[in-house]
Amino acid sequence: MWRDHLTEIIIFTTLFLLVSGMGFVASRWRAPKDMAHLDEWGLGGRSFGGWITWFLIGGDLYTAYTFVAVPALIFGAGAAGFFAVPYTIVVYPLVFLVLCRLWSVSHRHGFVTPADFVRRRFESPVLALLVAITGIVATMPYIALQLVGIEAVLKTMGVTGESALARHLPIIVAFAILAAYTYQSGLRAPALIAFVKDSLIYIVILVAVIWLPYQLGGWGAIFDAADAKFAATPNPNDGILLTGTNQLQYVTLALGSALALFLYPHSITGVLASRNRDVIKRNMSALPAYSLLLGLIALLGFMAIAAGVTPLPGSKEGTVDSNTVVPVLFDQQFPDWFAGVAYAAIGIGALVPAAIMSIAAANLFTRNIYKEYLKRDATPAQEANVSKITSLVVKVGAVACIVFLDPQFSIDLQLIGGVIILQTLPAVALGLYTRWFHKGALIAGWTAGMGLGLWMLYQIPNAATGRQHFGGSAFPLADFGLDTPKTIYVGIVAVGVNLLVAALATLALRAARVPDGGDGTETDDYFADEGDPRVTPGPRTDAATAPEPVA
């Protein structure tokens, strides 16, 4: 009953409302002269320095997925859930130079979205449209994952009910709060809130990794308890160590997730809001510090096993909600006041990325669908207004993902989105370095990769919920006719086919002398920096040279 969690509810509500209030007043933080412009509403004036960018990108990438989904997967499956740690380590060297080039060409031409770049680079509105649609669709389940985190916390505090409406009421509440302050403040809201969010999470995790092992008998006892649990499970792939069967899935999942991370529109939005190339370089060097935090958070899954945590019941009779593992752990092992702080950290950790994601998806629709196909002469003010409205619609789509997909682990929402967004890799990531691919071949590759990826996802059942389709992202190789129990991450297979088709089709189209159009960018565009006279000027702001806040 909620009355048993009154202290937690009060602290959670107070902190939640505090940061939501910050979201509303953020429109006056580093205030521009004119907010009715995508550069201001959607990119924060492109003026964020090192500290703001570090917290913004960190708050964008390390989300409720980190605090809820990863420990839940480790609680249920063991070592396989640690794939998130190596992928967040290898991703930064991979994208270090790529993002600098993307920043430069985007600021040179005033690009707001990755589809803007593709449109100019390949002079193909069709390819740009596919990239935009892919980004929007891939973002939906990722936003849904953030809302799942809020729902798990409120469910642990006894706030949700049994009926379908009462069960999803927290999602509706989160939608309303996100919609309101995102509409008003744009990217400045999550940028400001990120300072509070990251501080709370660091405090909660540092306390947890010191206090919980002491309470549970030490790390040896924690790992022994986890090992005993997995030894008693019927699934031979579950355990504190990887097996010969799931190693391929682990490696391909880590690599695929790393390749996908900075293809997401929200990741690119945080990067494009940076002031200059040096800000990006410093952040790509410093952001791996969050990977240490992620590793500590992941261990909460094993701590929950040692603590004897039982997840709360799921939406269907006989099922459990694995997303409640961490909230229940904090409820059992900490005083009510600290559990309330931890719940607020999870809730705020969901608000920040959800806001950025909805902004990024809205910018894609506005720039690459509305302006390209519906109103070519749209003014900056009209673009900003359409983007605000679209950000509301995106959240509705995210809610639909939760209601209809219902995966066993909430992390599946992110992994399914990763399969989808990976199909933009040839056009966006490789396009920053080469114009060799024919635009028609890239479209063919996207079609092949997306078709195969969605077919593979459709074939994967969910044993926990009874659903026959879209139950995860681990595809059995036996379904390809191979005599092996191993599985592989769908995204790697799909993007591999995408690249193969794009390369072969390019050779065929070049041989047939099919016109390929031009390239609207120049070599020097990829090295432009702050102060470069070639950079397309945006709206002037009073805060463009304002000092960074002390972190």
Give pLDDT tens digits for 379-401: 989 999 999 899 888 877 776 66
Sequence-distant (6+) residues with CB within 8 A of 374 are none
Residue 466 domain-assigned?
no
pLDDT band of residue 29 (cuts 50, 70, 90) is confident
Q: For the ranges 159-173, 484-498, 523-537, which has the lowest average pLDDT?
A: 159-173
**pLDDT tens per residue across span 204-214:** 989 999 999 99
Q: For the ranges 52-66, 129-143, 374-388, 481-495, which has the lowest average pLDDT?
A: 52-66
Residue 90 domain-assigned?
yes
Share of the chain above pLDDT 90, in %: 41
Mean pLDDT, residues 165-190 taken together: 76
Q: How far apart are CA 466 and CA 461, in angstroms?
A: 8
Please determine, for residue 315, whether its predicted confidence score (pLDDT) is greater than 70: no
Mean pLDDT, residues 307-322 taken together: 81
Q: What is the pLDDT of residue 545?
A: 38
Q: How far apart are CA 271 and CA 223, in angstroms?
A: 39
Give φ, ψ of 458 to 5 degrees.
-65, -30
Please determine, for residue 224, whether its predicted confidence score (pLDDT) is greater than 80: yes
Q: For the ranges 451-455, 475-479, 511-515, which has the lowest average pLDDT?
A: 475-479
User: Which residue bears the tokens 């193969």?
Assistant: 500
Q: Which residues of 490-529 are buried (b: 16+ CB within 10 A; e: fewer)?
A: bbbbbbebbbebbbebbeebeeeeeebeeeebeeebbebb
Residue 504 domain-assigned?
no
**pLDDT tens per residue across span 124-133:** 999 999 999 9
Number of other residues whose CB lies within 10 A of the CB of residue 326:
31
Q: What is the pLDDT of residue 166?
A: 61
Q: How far apart are CA 84 and CA 292, in angstroms?
A: 11
Q: What is the pLDDT of residue 461?
A: 78
**Could you tell me the residue range of the domain that residue 116 belongs to?**
2-22+41-408
Nearest of 28, 88, 81, 17 to residue 58 by alpha carbon? 88
Residue 442 domain-assigned?
no
Q: What is the pLDDT of residue 408?
A: 47
Under 8 Å between Cβ of 26 and 191? yes
Q: How far apart are CA 264 and CA 421, in angstroms?
A: 6
Under 8 Å between Cβ of 417 and 267? no
Residue 356 domain-assigned?
yes
Helix-helix angle 380-405:169-185, to 10 degrees: 170
How many Å separate Cα 548 from the centre of its chain?
26
Q: What is the pLDDT of residue 458?
A: 86
Total domains present in the chain:
1
**pLDDT tens per residue across span 147-171:** 778 888 888 888 876 665 666 666 6
What token pair was written down for 210?
């010191």
Q: How far apart are CA 282 and CA 274, in angstroms?
A: 11
Q: For the ranges 33-42, 250-259, 298-307, which has the lowest average pLDDT?
A: 33-42
What token pair was written down for 123?
């002079």
Nearest of 425, 359, 374 to residue 130 by alpha carbon? 425
Sequence-distant (6+) residues with CB within 8 A of 455 are none
Nearest of 193, 154, 150, 166 to residue 24 by alpha carbon? 193
Among 58-62, 178-182, 491-495, name the most confident range: 491-495
What token pair was written down for 62?
């390390």
pLDDT band of residue 268 (cuts 50, 70, 90) is very high
What token pair was written down for 436?
């060799």
**Residue of 539 and 228 predicted with greater confidence:** 228
Number of other residues whose CB lies within 10 A of the CB of residue 380:
16
DSSP structure string for 21-56: HHHHHGGGTT-BS---SHHHHTTGGG-B-HHHHHHH
Mean pLDDT, residues 210-226 taken together: 94
Mean pLDDT, residues 277-293 taken together: 86
Please determine, for residue 541, whether its predicted confidence score (pLDDT) is greater than 60: no
Q: What is the pLDDT of residue 251?
A: 94
Task: Tell me the CB-side half-sphere exposure of residue 296, using CA atoms within 13 A.
Answer: 19
Beta strands in 240-344 (DSSP E): none
What token pair was written down for 119?
């449109």
Sequence-distant (6+) residues with CB within 8 A of 431 are 117, 118, 121, 122, 437
**pLDDT tens per residue across span 402-437:** 666 554 445 666 778 889 999 999 999 999 999 999
Mean pLDDT, residues 298-313 taken together: 92
Q: What is the pLDDT of residue 212?
A: 94
Residue 208 domain-assigned?
yes
Under 8 Å between Cβ of 304 and 226? no
Please determine, for residue 78, whether its predicted confidence score (pLDDT) is greater than 50: yes
Task: Tell me the CB-side half-sphere exposure of residue 98, using CA atoms within 13 A.
Answer: 21
Q: What is the pLDDT of residue 326?
A: 93
Nearest of 120, 105, 115 to residue 135 by alpha carbon? 115
Average model confidence (pLDDT) across the chain: 85
Q: Which amino acid is at 386?
A: V
Q: For the ranges 131-140, 328-337, 361-370, 530-539, which has the lowest average pLDDT?
A: 530-539
Sequence-distant (6+) residues with CB within 8 A of 414 are 65, 69, 141, 142, 145
Give φ, ψ of 541 to 5 degrees.
-125, 155
Mean pLDDT, residues 13-40 taken together: 82
Q: How far apart are CA 370 and CA 51, in angstroms?
A: 34
Q: What is the pLDDT of residue 410?
A: 52
Q: How far apart are CA 308 and CA 75, in angstroms?
A: 11
Q: Which amino acid is at 214?
A: Y
Residue 522 domain-assigned?
no
pLDDT band of residue 140 (cuts 50, 70, 90) is confident
Q: How far apart are CA 205 and CA 335, in angstroms?
A: 15
Q: Which residues of 417-441 are buried (b: 16+ CB within 10 A; e: fewer)?
A: bbbbbbbbbbbbbbbbeeeebbbbb
Give the domain CATH number at 135.
1.20.1730.10
Q: For the ranges 111-115, 149-153, 247-251, which has the lowest average pLDDT?
A: 149-153
What token pair was written down for 317?
């009779």
Q: What is the pLDDT of residue 400?
A: 67
**pLDDT tens per residue across span 333-358:** 999 999 999 999 888 888 888 888 88
User: Which residue bears the tokens 């800000």?
Assistant: 279
What token pair was written down for 489?
């991450």
Please determine, for residue 551, whether its predicted confidence score (pLDDT) is greater than 50: no
Residue 312 domain-assigned?
yes
